[in-house]
Amino acid sequence: MAPSTNGDKPQENMLWGGRFTGGLDPLMVTYNESIHFDRIIYAQDIRGSIAYARANKNIGILTSDEFAAIEKGFKQVHQEWESNTFTIKPGVDEDIHTANERRLGEIIGTGIAGKLHTGRSRNDQVATGMRLWLRDQLRLLDEHLTSFLRVLTSRARAEISALMPGYTHLQRAQPIRWSHWLLSYGTSFQADLERLRQLIPRVNRSPLGAGALVGNPFNIDRAAIAKELGFDSLIPNSMTAVSDRDFILETLQWATMLMTHISRFSEDLIIYSTAEFGFVRLADAYSTGSSLMPQKKNPDSLELLRGKSGRVFGTMAALMMSVKGLPSTYNKDLQESWETMLDGVKTTSDSIQIATGVLSTLTIFPEKMLAALSPDMLATDLADYLVRKGVPFRETHHISGRVVALAEKESVPMDKLSVKQLQEVDSRFGDDVKSCFDYEASINKRTVVGGTSEKSVIEQIETLEKMLQ
């Protein structure tokens, strides 16, 4: 497509227009614009502009009256956004910063509005708005994840008596408590919450006052601006301040790990909800039916959670590829951080809330969980029985394996073998050997920290609850 030759100079209305004399390719205008997605930070951009204007007033760039006019004008701009009456001008409002400043000039006059940007660049302006927005979103994610963990611990405490098979390689291994399974994921989500809380201060650092890349020439008080905006600290290098997108990458890396845990949690529940297992049933609110088979109840919520983990990973990988080879400092490639950030954060936020809804409405069937247990899952307990008699474990493991083989040969469950049959395998089995075939007793022997006994599970619940307080 050939460049525009119709004499229009849309760039004259843009923040960078003075240098250019020719028109822009119309496709390039839309290709370059970010207003359709970065307008989400209209409030943060206005907050940052007011704080920056106050700092300019404090060093004499603006008079008190000029600052008052800017602050009042921005309040009107904010109200227009809030009431959905703000009119975006295509081809002029290429981004939220241009739009807000253009509208401010219409309200209070370009003479005063034109002083606002003194010493500031869109480079530090956009980084400020993004950090303010992301900081607020991460705090919401903290609330969502905390709520999810509260549901999880509540269920773990209420349903502590439910017993079920524990699996390795998706094969029945040893008996556990349903609560222990819940807390296995609770531990992972607890680590995710800790990582999130470590991430927020690194996001919440102020770049404002860095200018385009070399800093502000009017000795503006960056610390005062940061304090007004609620930042924890300053980014100490102006070149880093305008070009850094590690705060978004780290957020997406964190989100990818969280979504991986959500995906695995979902996969287990998908399996447990099948007719072959029948351990759980999803509420209708988080299931769908089949267009052909009326008997079907599909776990679409869990399948979407599993699928969207890949989407979040994709946002992280996409941004990583966009920034990996950039020279310092600001490059337009960094505009790609916007859509990956917005999509990754929204998908993660929605996913945590859906997972919370699924777990809070889930029905469990303890009787089916118990029925899935089988005596061969106590083979290790049989070996441990002999260990307590002083027999080396490697030997008891072999003996227990022979008992398993005998039960298979006789086509009976292990607990149906007689004491005499067991003693024929090894004479050290006593008359009390049958006590090994007790699921509850087996579980409650695991009293070590982190174990599946009732005592250990309660300790895990209390540890998690303490963090959530």
Same domain (yes/no): 184, 286? yes
Whether 450 maps to a domain, the answer reads: no
Query: Mean pLDDT, to the nearest integer, of 315-338?
Result: 96
- What's the full length of the chain, in residues? 469
Whether 4 maps to a domain, the answer reads: no
Q: Give, in degrees to the nearest 5, the angle at Cα 124 between 123 and 128.
A: 125
DSSP 24: P
> Under a CB-based contact definition with an 8 Å cutoff, are residues 444 and 454 in contact?
yes
DSSP 93: -
Same domain (yes/no): 280, 319? yes
List residues bridging with 298 in a β-sheet. Answer: 288
DSSP string, 385-439: HHHTTT--HHHHHHHHHHHHHHHHHHTS-GGGS-HHHHHHH-TT--GGGGGG--H
Alpha helices in 33-121 (DSSP H): 35-38, 42-58, 64-82, 96-108, 110-113
pLDDT of residue 373: 97
Residue 332 — pLDDT band, cuts 50, 70, 90?
A: very high
Indicate whether 34 pLDDT > 70. yes
End of a domain among 78, 113, 148? Answer: 113
Say which of 169, 291, 411, 427 is annotated catalytic.
169
Distance of CA 203 to the CA centre of its chain: 15
Q: What is the pLDDT of residues 70-93, one digit of tens each?
A: 999 999 999 999 999 999 998 899
User: Between β-strands 171-177 and 163-168, what pairing exists: parallel, antiparallel or unpaired?
Assistant: antiparallel
End of a domain among 318, 352, 371? Answer: 371
Same domain (yes/no): 154, 236? yes
Residue 169 annotated among the catalytic residues of the structure:
yes
Same domain (yes/no): 90, 211? no
Report which of residues 238 and 7 the model is more confident about: 238
Say which of 36, 161, 233, 290 is annotated catalytic.
290
In the block, residue with structure tokens 């981004």:
95
Q: What is the pLDDT of residues 406-433, one digit of tens each?
A: 999 999 999 999 999 999 999 999 999 9
Return the closest-CA partner of residue 125 out of 186, 201, 206: 206
Return the CATH number at 85: 1.10.275.10
Whether 218 maps to a domain, the answer reads: yes
Same domain (yes/no): 221, 87? no
Same domain (yes/no): 361, 382? no
Residue 32 — pLDDT band, cuts 50, 70, 90?
A: confident
Whether 442 maps to a domain, the answer reads: no
Q: For residue 163, report the phi and psi dihedrals to the nearest 5 degrees.
A: -110, 150
Same domain (yes/no): 367, 410? no
pLDDT of residue 469: 87
Whether 469 maps to a domain, the answer reads: no
Return the CATH number at 354: 1.20.200.10
Residue 290 annotated among the catalytic residues of the structure:
yes
Same domain (yes/no): 224, 350? yes
pLDDT of residue 80: 98
Q: Give, in degrees to the nearest 5, the angle at Cα 285 between 284 and 287.
A: 60
Whether 241 maps to a domain, the answer reads: yes
Same domain (yes/no): 356, 383? no
Return d(Cα 122, Cα 7) in angstroms, integer: 27
pLDDT of residue 301: 97
Whether 456 maps to a domain, the answer reads: no
Same domain (yes/no): 426, 282? no
Residue 2 — pLDDT band, cuts 50, 70, 90?
A: very low
pLDDT of residue 3: 38
Q: What is the pLDDT of residues 187-234, one digit of tens each?
A: 999 999 999 999 999 999 999 999 999 999 999 999 999 999 999 999
Q: Into how many domains does the chain fold?
A: 3
pLDDT of residue 358: 98
**What are the CA-CA distances from residue 158 to residues 178, 187, 409, 454 (Å)?**
11, 18, 41, 12
What is the sign, positive or negative, of the torsion defined by CA atoms of 64, 65, 71, 72?
positive
Return the CATH number at 416: 1.10.40.30
Lowest-pLDDT range of 5-19, 23-37, 172-186: 5-19
Q: What is the pLDDT of residues 4-20, one digit of tens each?
A: 444 444 444 555 455 55
In the block, residue with structure tokens 């960056």:
222
Whether 451 maps to a domain, the answer reads: no
Structure-block tokens of residue 78: 């904010």
In the block, residue with structure tokens 């253009």:
102
Indicate whether 292 pLDDT > 80. no
Query: Mean pLDDT, to the nearest integer, of 366-393?
Result: 95
Same domain (yes/no): 288, 411? no
Return d(Cα 288, Cα 278) in angstroms, integer: 17
Same domain (yes/no): 324, 380? no
End of a domain among 343, 371, 399? Answer: 371
Print the domain residue range for 105: 33-113
Share of the chain above pLDDT 90, in %: 90
Report which of residues 115 and 91 the model is more confident about: 115
- Return mean pLDDT, the chain: 93
